[in-house]
Structure 1
């Protein structure tokens, strides 16, 4: 039984759409596959305060509430602190809304007034593990604080990175946090010298 001309045209249109959809999916998969396997986001800011003033605000998770941009993602976020109050072994676990997600941060290395290495494990909304590093470089009576985060990127994360500019998104948050840390540290340093 032969198909009518109208039905053949409809079948051709559907076939063209299906081939186009398959081509689009393959092209997207190839684009995702060629994304880098690792990422790094870094921001720095000079603060008119010595390292010994700035460092404790980062080395103690209970102090993060005053400056971290992630603290305001969910005002009702639940947090717990484990291990020592500051430095190596200090752990903060959190669980919040879809913006804050859930996970933990652990200070794995703390070199007083020089560097803090943190293991960041996010369990929600998308599981990942990243390395976070804060460095405190003295410049006269000031400190250049550098906040960086790096990690490996799986296929789904590569897709996410293809759509969203992670460097800008995280970098803007780092800049916001560093700005607040600068305000707090400079105020503290000015009060100590007056």
Structure 2
């Protein structure tokens, strides 16, 4: 048998095995990262609740400064929608504030339309978490991002590519946030 044919059979078999495994593997993922900011909870929360402030810290928003943006509603309140249409890596979609608990949490839904369709949940939480309130003027910001990948895209979860990329992006965004607020 030809060596090229053997290699081709092995490669095709490996790819077919990945697709088969993906049929039985998870489709959901959740990434969580946090940062400690030397500012009181109220100040940090008031900054985070305004989605337009993402222009100054969110890596995904900052990736394409020339993207078109459209806003519906009152920024910082439930129902506010931040739409974007990017020319480079930002793609297109919208983010809607679904709920706000003052000085505690902001839940948003991110709906992607390009380069792929999908929906993700984003949760920003501020506070001390599992400890008594901090009186020193520091705030922990915890960012959770979760979604589902349909078959066969869930193969990316097997390879941990989505989690690695999103984890790095959340860490960069939170470092930007910390830098901006601690000035």
- Aligned residue in 1 for 2:101: 111
Choose from 121, 142, 147 the match for 2:143: 147
Choose from 4, 7, 23 the match for 1:33: 23
- Aligned residue in 2 for 1:176: 172
- Aligned residue in 1 for 2:46: 56
Kindly state the Cα deviation for residue 37 of structure 1 after the two structures are TM-superposed: 1.9
Change (3 A) 1:13 1:117: closer
- Aligned residue in 2 for 1:101: 91
Q: Any idea what SS the aligned residue of 2:64 has?
A: coil
Kindly state the Cα deviation for residue 168 of structure 1 after the two structures are TM-superposed: 2.0
- Give the helix-richer structure, 1 or 2: 1
- Normalised to the residue count of structure 2, the TM-score between the two structures is 0.86
- Asked which structure has the greater CA Rg, the reply is 1
Listed one character per residue, the Cα deviations across residues 109-166 of structure 1 (whole Å, up to 9, x for unaligned) are: 0111100000011111111101100000143321110001112221132123344522
Structure 2 residue runs of 5 or longer lacking an equivalent are: 129-133
Between the two proteins, the alignment pairs up a number of residues equal to: 177
The separation in 2 between residues aligned to 1:13 and 1:88, in whole angstroms, is 59
- Normalised to the residue count of structure 1, the TM-score between the two structures is 0.82
Change (3 A) 1:125 1:162: farther
